[in-house]
Amino acid sequence: PAVLLLRTRDLFSLPFPLTLPVVTSLSIQAALRGWRFLLLPDAFPLARRPPPSPHGQWKARNSLEKQRRALMERFGLKLELLPDGRQRWHGCDKDTPRCFGTVHSQTPQYRAAGRWTPPCCLRALRATARHVVAELEAAGVRYWLEGGSLLGAVRLGDIIPWDYDVDLGLYREDAPKCRWLAAVLAAGRPVEDPEGFLWEKAAEGDFFRVHFSRTNRLHVDLWPFYARPGGVMTKDTWLGHRQDVEFPESFLVPLVPVAFAGVAAKAPNDPRAFLELKFGPGAIENP
């Protein structure tokens, strides 16, 4: 039982005025509007009842937890900070699909809704990027941050908050040095590594893709480049993106470290010039 003192017009201005569990639901919606919310002790104690059995207590806890999870899903909340400092994730993980569907015209669903990348999806992207970078480094593959991923590294040292994948370029002749890329080339089908990341040849063209898991398709794209006469880096698949252009190999000799998603990744030696070649003048300062 609860007593709620609230103006009717305020209560029904909320998108979910009486969604269960009511106290949690109202607390979240009030906080988002800057309302002060005071929860008083029970005003009308119930009549005495026998204490519930252990099974009844379990059923009550389970029911409340289901209500809370349904509420978080309905509100689109992915991360809950608990009073004791712990965090509870309500978003995707390795065993679930990612939080958004097919990307249309380079725009994922959350961007169309005016939101940034869900925090669980960013967490999965960072984990995948760190894993791929570590595997390429260990194998001695020459790789570098490409496109929007390099842009995020230069601006923030991280993935751009509204991005939905990570792009790396690599020397095509180095691909077989990585055991997982070599396995994909040899088997002609996706290969899952011991940590649950799925490596495959992309269906859209001549490049590779590494997914967070077989179920969760947040991914890193690996673009094989090679030098053509004249020292210009090119590749065999072009998707028509603005940044999808050839560039001088001198940008890659040498490669330099840059902070990205919690690790030191490799980048072209003049990131500003490289990004302005791809995106135009002022690309770093102008999102």
The pLDDT tens digits of the residues spanning 104-124 come to 888 888 888 888 999 899 999
Give me the chain's average pLDDT, please.
Answer: 91
Torsion 262-161-248-177 (CA) sign: positive
Residue 103 has pLDDT above 90, yes or no: no
Among 37-41, 99-103, 255-259, the range of highest mean pLDDT: 255-259
What does pTM read for this prediction?
Answer: 0.80
Going by C-alpha positions, the residue among 205, 218, 217 that lies closest to residue 244 is: 205
Euclidean distance between CA atoms 248 and 284, whole angstroms: 20
> Under DSSP, is residue 19 helix (H, G, I), strand (E, B) or coil?
coil
Kindly calculate the radius of gyration of the chain based on its CA atoms and give it in whole angstroms: 25
Going by C-alpha positions, the residue among 139, 193, 212, 126 that lies closest to residue 170 is: 139
Task: Please give the single-letter amino acid code of residue 285.
Answer: E
Euclidean distance between CA atoms 178 and 182, whole angstroms: 6
What is the pLDDT, as a whole number, of residue 211? 98
For the chain, domains (ranges, CATH) are 8-44+51-77 (no CATH), 119-279 (3.30.460)
85 CB-near residues (< 8 Å, 6+ apart): none
Extract the tokens encoding 50. Answer: 């026998």
Per-residue confidence at 44, pLDDT binned at 50, 70, 90? low
Q: DSSP letter string over 29-80?
A: HHHHTT-----PPPSSPPPP-PPPPHHHHHHHHHHHHHHHHHHHHHHT--EE
| Paired strand residues for 104 | 107
Under 8 Å between Cβ of 198 and 211: yes
Under 8 Å between Cβ of 201 and 208: yes
| Paired strand residues for 80 | 88
Mean pLDDT value of segment 68-91: 84
Residue 41 has pLDDT above 70, yes or no: no
Q: Which residue has tokens 């209560």?
A: 11
